[in-house]
Amino acid sequence: MSKVVLKLGDDVSTDIIYPGRFMATVLPSETPQYAFADIPDFNARLKKGEFTKESVVVAGKNFGCGSSREQAASCLKGPDLVVIARHFARIFLQNSINLGLKTIICPDIEAEEGDELEIFGDKVINNTSGKTFPIKPLPKARQSIIDAGGLIPYTRNRLLERKV
Amino acid sequence: MGMTMVEKILARATGRTSVKAGEVVEPWVDLAMSHENGALVLNQFHEIYKGTGMEARVWDPSRIAIIFDHRVPAESSKTATNQKKLREFVANQGIGKFHDIRGDEGGICHQILPENGYIRPGYVVVGTDSHTTSHGALGAFAFGIGATEMASVWALGIVLNVEVPGTIKVVVNGELPKYVLPKDLILFLIGKISAEGANFKVIEFHGSTIQKMSTSGRLTICNMSVEAGATSGIVPPDSMTLGYLKKIAGIEEQIVVFGPDSDATYDQIIEIDASRLDPQVACPHTVDNVKSVQEVAGKKIQQVVIGSCTNGRLDDIEVVAQILRGKKVNRDVRMLIFPASGRIFREAIENGYVTTLMEAGAVVANSGCGPCLGVHQGALADGDTALSTTNRNFKGRMGNPNSEVYLCSPAVAAASALTGVITDPRIGG
């Protein structure tokens, strides 16, 4: 069971997720402090450690549009948040898969802050509203990266294969 | 069955006779570009090699470009330290295409790459910058990736598991009216198909308007294709492309070019009559919130920005200088101009544009990304409205979530700088 801790609309850009003025901070271990920095209330609660692992950010269409900055994915991966959106912008989705941030494409998702969700196989169940929403599988090209545990181990394996 | 531009390029880059949209391929990379965020790439690159017993060496230092542009000169000690680490890496790995903070060869990555002949038709280009789409202007398949993906490219020389994108063909015919520029065309298209209208697809540009368009204009339209969600924009290379590569980029040898097959399959075909376009303005806080300039004329502005990878080239500065010549920037407006490269800056000086702009009251600053991404050089006050030739107007984009950014062409920006309100350049400032 996972709680929705932030509900957002359509076209949430990487400037909202991780504002450009913090881009000089690059290390995944340091980026979570600036996640949604311009949504101060959420950012303060995140920094206090109020959210349990797999807490959910719910958004509309085109989540993560804009810049390629990977900090936008690493800042959410750090606290192990899950993002459920109607769909994602390409680079953000790719970055998330590469870093192991759990992203779920759920074209019809309806959920409010405080709702309790369950991610079960190919659907999201909203236990608060009693409704169920189908999950759209991630682009097939990406599954092998997820299975390897992210792009770093995946690339490492490929390098070692070449060496042989 | 015929192939689109991107299918042909990916077939070549995988050593195959054909590929189709939807297939998964691992293309060889011709050029891999990073800017300051190379500091993160570097970190991830070393992570990859951990525990392998192998020395961390890039696959081909001649195919890696590192350009400092996002925060130049460094706005903080943190940035300066990142830049220093990258300089050391460049020296250590022997990376040749390195452009430091310099007036002779520095500038914005998406200008430096084409003007130095680093981009060629048919190339596969990746960059840790979403506006890497720009280089489709020269007939390359160029797209943005994240830092970890770039680290993987540095190690392997290929992009892993790329799904061949489908293509939207955009056919533009007719002559652009006076003071209607390539920026207006791309803003119009984004407004028409929305910020997600080309998600995971490539936009291939065709038609007489595109054929007549300079490479500078093509860079503008391919640059902003990503604002419609596109993986890339691309213009089939032609005599205009070859002229640019020879005269501007200084490439002497013969270049072979190819276009898409006449029976290629497109997901969608969109036709636009350029002769009917008005100057366009993208209103806060999404790039697809596009209106004609008449609809937003009169809106008060406090800052005008000319520059960025979208509109900081010589012809952009020229049109601004023409409009400002002998006039004064409104006293309530700060006008900031950032030439896209040191070379363009020097050409703007030689042509007298810089004097014209400064006499009008504009501030001409060093080449770089400037305030586009809200890091330094021109932060906005609470309640400020900026009118900018850059590419994004998301909430907080220019560093302050309590401000607004409108996007437009250099002509609209210049006319508006004179009046202090958004102004139709056809009517004048």
ipTM of this model?
0.96
* CA distance linking residue B32 with residue B175, whole number of Å: 36
Architecture category of domain A2-138 in CATH: Alpha-Beta Barrel (3.20)
Contacts of B76 in chain A (CB under 8 A): 24
The residue in chain A having the minimum alpha-carbon distance to the alpha carbon of residue B231 is A90
Residues 6+ apart with CB under 8 A from A70: A95, A98, A99, B37, B40, B128, B146, B147, B148
pLDDT tens column, B51-84:
999 999 999 999 999 999 999 999 999 999 999 9
Taking the CA atoms of B301, B305, B308 and B313 in sequence, report the sign of the dihedral they define. positive
Q: What pLDDT is attached to residue B138?
A: 98
B190: alpha, beta or left? (left if phi > 0; alpha if psi -120 to 50) = alpha
Query: Taking residues B210-237, what's their average pLDDT?
Result: 98
- Å between B33 CA and nearest CA of chain A: 13
From-to residues of CATH 3.30.499.10 in chain B: 5-272, 280-419
Contacts of A38 in chain B (CB under 8 A): 395-396, 401
Judged against a pLDDT cut of 90, whether residue A92 lies above it is answered with yes
* CA distance linking residue B293 with residue B373, whole number of Å: 24
* Tokens found for residue B152: 């993987």
Domain ranges of chain A: 2-138
Q: What pLDDT is attached to residue A1?
A: 79
Average pLDDT value for chain B = 97
Contacts of A19 in chain B (CB under 8 A): 374, 396, 399, 401
Q: B199 and chain A: CB distance < 8 Å anywhere?
A: yes
* CA distance linking residue B357 with residue B335, whole number of Å: 9
Q: What pLDDT is attached to residue A32?
A: 97
Is the CB of residue A100 less than 8 Å from the CB of residue A149?
Answer: yes
Q: What pLDDT is attached to residue B429?
A: 58
Contacts of B71 in chain A (CB under 8 A): 23-24
Is the CB of residue A61 less than 8 Å from the CB of residue A89?
Answer: no
Q: Which of B260, B295, B243 is nearest to B422 (CA)?
A: B295
User: What is the helix (H) or strand (E) element at residue A134, kind and residue range?
Assistant: strand A131-134
Count of all residues that appear for chain B in the document: 429
Q: A110 and chain B: CB distance < 8 Å anywhere?
A: no
* CA distance linking residue B162 with residue B28, whole number of Å: 11
Judged against a pLDDT cut of 90, whether residue B161 lies above it is answered with no
pLDDT tens column, A101-156:
999 999 999 999 999 999 998 999 999 999 999 999 987 778 889 999 999 999 99
CATH number of B280-419: 3.30.499.10
Q: Which of B354, B358, B395 is nearest to B374 (CA)?
A: B395
Q: A94 and chain B: CB distance < 8 Å anywhere?
A: yes
Find residues 59-78 of chain A whose CB sits inside 8 Å of chain B. Answer: 61-62, 65-71, 73
* CA distance linking residue B120 with residue B256, whole number of Å: 10
A110: alpha, beta or left? (left if phi > 0; alpha if psi -120 to 50) = beta
Find residues 21-60 of chain A whose CB sits inside 8 Å of chain B. Answer: 21, 23-27, 38
| A155 closest CB neighbour out of B78, B147, B152 | B152
Q: B201 and chain A: CB distance < 8 Å anywhere?
A: no
pLDDT tens column, B310-367:
999 999 999 999 999 999 999 999 999 999 999 999 999 999 999 999 999 999 999 9
* CA distance linking residue B129 with residue B33, whole number of Å: 8
Give the pairing type, strands B201-206 and B290-292.
Answer: unpaired
Domain B5-272 - what CATH class? alpha beta
Buried residues in B393-422 as b, exposed as e (16+ CB within 10 A): bbbbbbbbbebbbbbbbbbbbbbbbbbbbb
